[in-house]
Structure 1
């Protein structure tokens, strides 16, 4: 299977999950709108979800896969199973202890980490809309957090199983499992809307839906692992050389691989000081996560095993070629997506969310946040491309320094900009921190001679940027032409038709320009049409 085919497999499964996630978010916006219950659910869910992203897309993909692959190659399947049992037993024990402690001390966690703004909240008697006291907001956030926290344990164990599947080059099930969460929450929301449940009840049932989804996802990947002929057993935890090496790699890798989620988590914690701000950030995050998840996650999952194999086999030229083509692929898709999301965020947000409990006055604010997030989209995908260059070489110290610098900058910028421009400040801080992190990661690889930019990458990057900007110019003209169709007063079907025309024409123009200018690899395009693999790169002279 070619590198592009693997990207397509993982990206396709992730795309399906994100589309259903879109549907889930649309239904949630209609049911809860921007209010205290929506804030409480998003705050409570962000904490275990942060760890899901850190483990699934960071620590285990970055640390477990190279070590497991080495055990598999050097000691055979029996050695790999022994290593997996060591890790599983320790991880399971640690997660049980962590979950019990978190459930007991959840009120403290909410006040200090999850939603510090609730600790200084002051009731406003003149406030309109959903008026829930600060004490009630705090109580429901604690309740939702307690219900959902075990999801963290399920996802951490699932991450290890997914690492095993990825090491065996079985990418699809691991990428498709998150769809179960969206299926279950859509089912919960459908039932709630049908029975006209009140908002606190909807939040309560959705929290239990998250917990059930975690168990279902874990079961799904365990069955896939068993079908692959591999299994793990729970034994007495022991301190071993393999466990020590994993912890040395996984700690920094979790920070590096999950920097996007860390930035979003920090942003939401700061946003808890303003009622409604958490929900605004969450609703803006969903459209932006669609291309980020489809492209970034696919690259992060596939690139690391491929690089690790090439480097361990001493195929340095193959590793360099893989890195360059991965960055080329990432920029080819993310640059036009970023331009489009920056230019037309308001019509998109209006069509997706503006119904039910979602007030039309919130649309411009959510749209402006989405536009700022969009500017950071290429950076966050590039982080997914650059990080495996370190992880495959078992180097976590260098990227950890870059990540800590980025996280520090994000906290400082968020604190400053939030008081100046509220939610927009947090989005801008997240974007600037992402570009800083991507720049530092690339500089480290380039300085060490571990990334050699080839002429083809430079040429195509410049052409992709030009094609994306030209496409953006056409979108602006079309926005003016279709302005009457895109007005809030227009029928929903008319707005959807207008956006469909904008998106379809933008894609057609971009891909036509890309093929005409050479921004897209014509050989690869023709190979895909003919269902053949692309020709290999020319031999080194």
Structure 2
């Protein structure tokens, strides 16, 4: 199967989940707006979500997948099963201890990490603590789910892992719909949502476990033992966890700062949800697929194939992400108005969320490129270098956010996150090139410049087109009319961008048909098998 089809498999499933996420956020905006209960729920949910990205998705995509793939290559399915049972025994025990400790310390955590600005509002603080206590076991479910996802991805079963997040959105939509149907107040709706998060975590874990069994892997829970395999996993996982959660770390910092202003946390969440659509569909799909593919190529000594995988993946993500960033920058007001402006979500809130979203759009290409660049380190079992860059980025984000928030509010936090994302991208790319782990292609640079040009033309066209459809996009227009106008704008932008990108050579059919195939060129395959060696891990 070509990389393009694998990207499409993961990206398509992620797209379905993200679209449901929009439905969820639309109901959330109508039910809670940017009121105190919205702030409380989003603040409480951010904490287990952060740990999920740190200790689940980030750590296992970076550390577990290469080691699991190596076990399959060296010892077959039986070796991989034994390794999985060793990891599961330790992981389950550690997660259980962390969950109990965090539940007991939740008031302290909320007052110092999650939302220190809530301390002056006893009611909001108390609700946030209780909601966080209900939702924190979600971390345990999702960490085990991440391990199962890593196993499935290594076994080339991508769809089940990608579709699992749909259950979170379906469960939360059901909770919101029930709350709106029964006329529940914001506090009761927040409780419905919190229990929905926990139920969704259990459902996702059950679906992935069934998927692993269907893939032929049957394993059980062993007594935790500190084996050499587990030790190697932990050595790789800790820095990978920090690296994989860079976006969430920066968002948590932004949340801590934003908690001093009423409604700011909800504003950031609503803007985050929009730009997460292209980030999830493109960035996460590429990151999930590229790591096992790159690990396998390097393990087999196919260095040229690995270089081709990296270049084609970066080309692919920019081909799809640059126009998304341009569109978000130009029509952020229209997007937010159509998606959210109803019920408790006012026109003034639309203006604030839209300006924040536009800035996030400028950082979108960087956030996606990080997903494509990190596997270049992780596949070589080097997780410390990206962690160092993450530390630099977080410090930079803190400095900017603290400096800009008093002046620009939520826009200052978005600016800090976008700038730190670009800083991380530059550090990762330059280091890969300097180490010889990225074969620089002048043709790639030329195509990227042409894609940027096509994006600029598209953005200008979109600006003028949105003016012609302004009457269809006013708050007074019916929702169906607004949706039609927004779809027309997006459709026009896609036609302009793709037509121009292909016309000026920024993209061509061979890029999509031939270059994204994993199979190396016949004339180089034997040469690589004879001469290539795997570079040593960079510690």
The answer to whether TM tops 0.5 is: yes
2:329 & 2:490 partners in 1: Cα distance? Answer: 13
Asked if 2 retains the 8 angstrom alpha-carbon contact of 1:85 and 1:235, the reply is yes
TM-score by length of 2: 0.95
Q: Give the aligned partner of residue 128 of structure 1.
A: none
Once the two structures are TM-superposed, the CA of residue 459 in structure 1 deviates from its matched residue by 2.0
2:317 & 2:89 partners in 1: Cα distance? Answer: 37
Once the two structures are TM-superposed, the CA of residue 501 in structure 1 deviates from its matched residue by 1.4
When structure 1 is superposed on structure 2, of 172-181 and 411-420 the one drifting more is 411-420
2:163 & 2:494 partners in 1: Cα distance? Answer: 26
Asked if 2 retains the 8 angstrom alpha-carbon contact of 1:57 and 1:300, the reply is no
Asked if 2 retains the 8 angstrom alpha-carbon contact of 1:523 and 1:535, the reply is no
2:55 & 2:226 partners in 1: Cα distance? Answer: 21
1:481 & 1:78 partners in 2: Cα distance? Answer: 63
2:359 & 2:95 partners in 1: Cα distance? Answer: 36
Q: Give the aligned partner of residue 436 of structure 1.
A: 423
1:329 & 1:438 partners in 2: Cα distance? Answer: 16
For the aligned residue pairs, the C-alpha RMSD in angstroms reads: 1.7
Match of 1:300 among 266, 271, 287: 287
Q: Give the aligned partner of residue 40 of structure 2.
A: 40
Q: Give the aligned partner of residue 320 of structure 2.
A: 333
Q: Give the aligned partner of residue 353 of structure 1.
A: 340
1:273 is the counterpart of 2:260: yes
1:491 & 1:185 partners in 2: Cα distance? Answer: 26
1:472 is the counterpart of 2:459: yes
2:122 & 2:234 partners in 1: Cα distance? Answer: 40
Q: What SS does the corresponding residue of 1:237 show, helix, strand or coil?
A: coil
Q: What SS does the corresponding residue of 1:376 show, helix, strand or coil?
A: helix
Give runs of aligned pairs for residues 20-99 of structure 1, distance below 5 A. 20-99=20-99
Q: Give the aligned partner of residue 180 of structure 1.
A: 167
Q: What SS does the corresponding residue of 2:456 show, helix, strand or coil?
A: helix
Give runs of aligned pairs for residues 77-476 of structure 1, distance below 5 A. 77-119=77-119, 121=120, 134-476=121-463
1:535 & 1:251 partners in 2: Cα distance? Answer: 33
TM-score by length of 1: 0.94
Once the two structures are TM-superposed, the CA of residue 263 in structure 1 deviates from its matched residue by 1.1
Once the two structures are TM-superposed, the CA of residue 533 in structure 1 deviates from its matched residue by 7.0
Shift in CA distance, 511/174, structure 1 to aligned 2, threshold 3 Å: same
Alignment length (residue pairs): 525
1:485 & 1:76 partners in 2: Cα distance? Answer: 60
Where does the alignment leave 5 or more consecutive residues of structure 1 unmatched?
A: 122-133
Q: What SS does the corresponding residue of 1:234 show, helix, strand or coil?
A: coil
Shift in CA distance, 213/226, structure 1 to aligned 2, threshold 3 Å: same
2:496 & 2:263 partners in 1: Cα distance? Answer: 38
Once the two structures are TM-superposed, the CA of residue 228 in structure 1 deviates from its matched residue by 1.1
2:470 & 2:226 partners in 1: Cα distance? Answer: 65
Asked if 1 retains the 8 angstrom alpha-carbon contact of 2:341 and 2:475, the reply is no
Asked if 2 retains the 8 angstrom alpha-carbon contact of 1:57 and 1:301, the reply is no
Q: Give the aligned partner of residue 495 of structure 2.
A: 508
1:205 & 1:533 partners in 2: Cα distance? Answer: 46
2:416 & 2:106 partners in 1: Cα distance? Answer: 28
Q: Give the aligned partner of residue 6 of structure 2.
A: 6
Where does the alignment leave 5 or more consecutive residues of structure 2 unmatched?
A: 528-539
For 1:382-414, what per-residue CA distance to the aligned partner results, in whole angstroms no more than 9, with x for missing partners? 000110000000111211111110011111111
Q: What SS does the corresponding residue of 1:523 show, helix, strand or coil?
A: helix
When structure 1 is superposed on structure 2, of 40-49 and 261-270 the one drifting more is 261-270
For 1:358-397, what per-residue CA distance to the aligned partner results, in whole angstroms no more than 9, with x for missing partners? 1221110000000000000000000001100000001112
Asked if 2 retains the 8 angstrom alpha-carbon contact of 1:527 and 1:534, the reply is no
Q: What SS does the corresponding residue of 1:420 show, helix, strand or coil?
A: helix
Asked if 1 retains the 8 angstrom alpha-carbon contact of 2:4 and 2:517, the reply is no
Once the two structures are TM-superposed, the CA of residue 492 in structure 1 deviates from its matched residue by 2.9
Asked if 1 retains the 8 angstrom alpha-carbon contact of 2:62 and 2:383, the reply is no
Asked if 2 retains the 8 angstrom alpha-carbon contact of 1:50 and 1:261, the reply is yes
1:214 & 1:89 partners in 2: Cα distance? Answer: 19
Once the two structures are TM-superposed, the CA of residue 327 in structure 1 deviates from its matched residue by 0.1
Once the two structures are TM-superposed, the CA of residue 304 in structure 1 deviates from its matched residue by 0.4
Once the two structures are TM-superposed, the CA of residue 4 in structure 1 deviates from its matched residue by 0.7
When structure 1 is superposed on structure 2, of 78-87 and 288-297 the one drifting more is 78-87
1:399 & 1:527 partners in 2: Cα distance? Answer: 31
2:496 & 2:347 partners in 1: Cα distance? Answer: 32
Once the two structures are TM-superposed, the CA of residue 487 in structure 1 deviates from its matched residue by 2.6
Asked if 1 retains the 8 angstrom alpha-carbon contact of 2:83 and 2:229, the reply is yes
Q: What SS does the corresponding residue of 2:471 show, helix, strand or coil?
A: coil
Asked if 2 retains the 8 angstrom alpha-carbon contact of 1:10 and 1:298, the reply is yes
When structure 1 is superposed on structure 2, of 361-370 and 70-79 the one drifting more is 70-79
1:534 & 1:107 partners in 2: Cα distance? Answer: 50
1:407 & 1:19 partners in 2: Cα distance? Answer: 30
